[in-house]
Chain A
Amino acid sequence: MKFLQWLHRWTGLILLIQLLLWTVSGLYFALVDHHGMSGRQHYQPLQSEPLSQTQLTNISASWWDDLSGVTKVHSYTTQGLPRVEVHHQDGIRYLDGRDGSEWQTDQDFAQQIAQASYSGPGSMVRATPIERTRELHDWRGQGFRIDFDDDLNTRVYVDRASGTVIDHRNTPWVVADWMFRLHFIDYTGGRNFNNLVAIAFAVMTLWFALSGFILLVKLLNSGEMRFTLRKASLTASVGEQQFKFNDKAHKTVLQVLQHNDIAVASGCGGGGTCGFCTVKTAPDTPITVSDRAQLSQAQLDEGYRLACQHSIETLHKVEVPAVEARKYALQLINSRFITPMLKELRFAVIEGEGEVEYAAGQYLQFLIPAGAGRSRPADVPEEFAEEWHAIEASEFKHDSVRRSYSMATAAGGNELVFTVRYQPQTPGAPAPGVGSSYLCNLKPGETIVAEGPFGDFQRLEGDERKLCFIGGGAGMAPLRALIQEELQSQQPRPMRFFYGARNRGELLYTDEFVALNNLNKVSFTAVLSEPRKTCQWGDAEGFVHEVARAWLEQQDISEYDFYICGPPRMLAATLAMLKELNVDSARVRYDDFGN
């Protein structure tokens, strides 16, 4: 099945143009008919003329006694002139029936027979001597082209040797001739459809049509193309919303979902070849060949299926995964340590896909392929070597995993920026963090696939609201994106940002926020929980949620919306703190990146 689809697709690509040409020319033939293509719209056969006794009496065998193998002597009259043809072993000799001399076609005679063969309304305008013409592919010799001034531009061709009308040609004939060239793939004008190119195309087309036909029969057999007026229903849950749709039972889940404006990714338009339209349903749902080809065994066991492969007659209830999510191939542009354990990775979306449309605060899932990971990146800078001292270089094997990372900038730039904190091996764990090791070892130029965007960690609406951000460590990334997005809005609302880290070396992007603070765009406070002497820290110390609390207790807390992101303990403590302050939970958004 897959092979046939592949064959059908690629032969289709090769044949595309010729199939179109065949269809166009075929339609032309079917509309115009033989007569319209013959060039003989104004043709009539020459009237037969009576023989005279004289012309027969005049014939003398001495006229051809130099010829051998004579099989036929033919006497007739054209335009009142007696004529004799002698067929012999080397061809035909044309004689003047009056004296046996070689037949001569002068221009006057040519015009007479041209006129006699012409039934149209035009009159003769011109006679041109010719030796060959594109309009008579196989003819060579001496002749005349005689033009008539009619609507079709008729021209009559006369052969001098035989003194006969060869054929009529006109403008529709030229069009038809091109159609024959297209249809027969013979651009010499010889209308020979037994040529090699035509044979090659014909054989390929046979493959193409048969593969399509077999695919069709398989579809019919599989019941995928059943047509029914019966209705069936589909219950779809998208996030927390539930929908119920009624439609014809033969429609696929994908068709019904898309028809009802439920966004489902689809790259191939329902062919079962891209694997984007994944939905979750009962694990005992039958598995189609395409399901198996596109999804992993684990996914199949969990009940994931392709929405395009199942009709709503068999599938009644599905969960549709996060909308707008798509896969992107990303190429690493730049990777640099910005703290001893954290790298900033900048990616470009490759293959001209343009930008990923996302809201600040959302994340992508990186599809980390199975392989061998390394515990230490090769490019640890000298200044951070001390922190890496204790980590031994080792290799470990890992399965393919998905890891989520938030975009660290607002959308709209050419790059996607992520901060990846390296997760060292913890006691008892089999290996260091698989995703972070992989991403930290990724080299510029290398590519990785990510899916997304996902997540509802997004700004809340309300012109009068103020924004309070509380974050810690690598939780900086989505908060930074949210703040950038707010700053890009028409009228940025007041923002307060508490950001905690253990020591000065682990603070991310602080220079940037100190600068914004000085411009009065964001009120920024950095908090260190374990400052070292070398930090020379004169600012806030302690846990970030405590510093934030001290400040909030002095504020009208109802004016604020809260955005929180950080390590689990920091997140839990902050949420507890807000609850103690009786903050409405609808006013709190947080990103639990749970690492």
Chain B
Amino acid sequence: MQYQSSVFRTWHRWLGIIVGVQMVIWAISGAYMVIVQLPFIHGEHLTEEADGEILDSSMVNRLPAVLDSYPQATQIHLVNRLVKGEFQDFAQLHSDTGKFLVDLNTLALVELTADDIRDLAAAYYAKGEPNISAVEYLEDVAPSELNERFLPIWRVDFKDFGNTSLYLHPQTGEMTVRRHDFWRGFDIMWMFHIMDYKDRVDITTWWLRAFIFATFAFLFTGTVLLLQTIWASRRKPV
């Protein structure tokens, strides 16, 4: 049998120029995402629970009065949270427009300060001595690592291996989002993997689809060459 050379090899090489680089990028980004464990990426090791125990269960009797003052609430939580340097019981209210803390004694809305956020972040932080480098209130502009729907939010940066950033809810002080360099790396790998270089969410771009189709052709030509060469080397004279 004779092989018409070159058609498959030519195609494989030229497709290689177009698809090959993306194949390498897929391989590198895929390997990173596969090798680095996902819970670690999610930063589950970075934080721990920081709410205190509710010791005075009679506080539950204050809830009807809270609802009287805030009738729009659809859910009510009794919590024990670190505010103004000490753990206190609060009512955390959820309504259709948001969530907030209410002082159980005064029934006043609790406003968290930068110091409160700093204390809470230090309490959430689980990687040893918290070394906070910045506390910042983000109102309008989200960094690329944060979805805009979380705004406004407090960002607390730690000076540690991985440059941890914790994002805390401005009204309740709850741990909302965790970021560190391995997550940021993962996000870049994800961006390269799905080829959405802007928002890193769209997996249906026409160019991604086009590259996948080209990859089929690349694989096909490669397979033909593979079979040809293995076939040829089997009957190659010694």
Contact = CB atoms under 8 A, between A and B. Distances in A.
Contact of A449 (B3, B21, B237): B237
Given A9-B230, A19-B219, A210-B27, A269 B5 contact: yes
A515 interface: no
Nearest to B26: A209
A34 interface: yes
B234 interface: yes
Q: Chain B CB within 10 Å — which of A23, A51, A76, A369 has the most?
A: A51
A16 B27 contact: no
A61 B62 CA distance: 12
A13 interface: yes
B103 to A, nearest CB: 17
Interface residues of B, number: 78
Contacts of B208: 30
B67 interface: yes
B6 A269 contact: yes
A270 B4 CA distance: 9
A270 B77 contact: no
A518 interface: no
A409 to B, nearest CB: 23
Contact of B231 (A49, A210, A265, A267): A267
B35 A202 contact: yes
B222 interface: yes
A269 B28 contact: no
Contact of A212 (B20, B36, B37, B204): B20
Contacts of B17: 216, 220, 225
Nearest to B213: A27
Interface stretch (A272-280, A437-445, A534-542, A574-582): A272-280
A153 B228 CA distance: 47
Interface in A1-56: 9, 12-13, 16, 19-20, 23, 26-27, 29-31, 33-34, 48-51, 53, 56
A193 B205 CA distance: 23
Contact of A70 (B20, B54, B231): B54
A255 B6 contact: yes
A56 B203 contact: no
Given A27-B209, A75-B75, A266 B203 contact: no
A268 interface: yes
Contact of A51 (B26, B75, B228): B75
B43 interface: no
B74 A49 contact: yes
Contacts of B20: 209, 212-213, 216
Interface size, A (range) = 35 or more
B51 A72 contact: yes
Interface string A56-76: 110111001100011111111
B226 A27 contact: no
Contacts of B204: 30-31, 33
Contact of A367 (B226, B229, B235, B237): B237
Contacts of A254: 5-6
Given A216-B17, A258-B4, A209 B10 contact: no
B78 interface: yes
A252 to B, nearest CB: 7
Interface string B16-39: 110011011011101101111110
A128 B18 CA distance: 52
Q: Chain B CB within 10 Å — which of A263, A268, A274 has the most?
A: A268
Question: Which 3 residue pairs of A and B lie closest in terms of their CB atoms, listed nearest first?
Answer: A267-B232, A61-B57, A270-B5
22 contacts: A12-B226, A23-B212, A30-B203, A51-B76, A53-B64, A61-B60, A71-B51, A71-B79, A72-B77, A202-B34, A203-B35, A206-B31, A209-B20, A212-B16, A216-B13, A216-B16, A266-B2, A267-B235, A268-B3, A269-B5, A273-B229, A353-B235
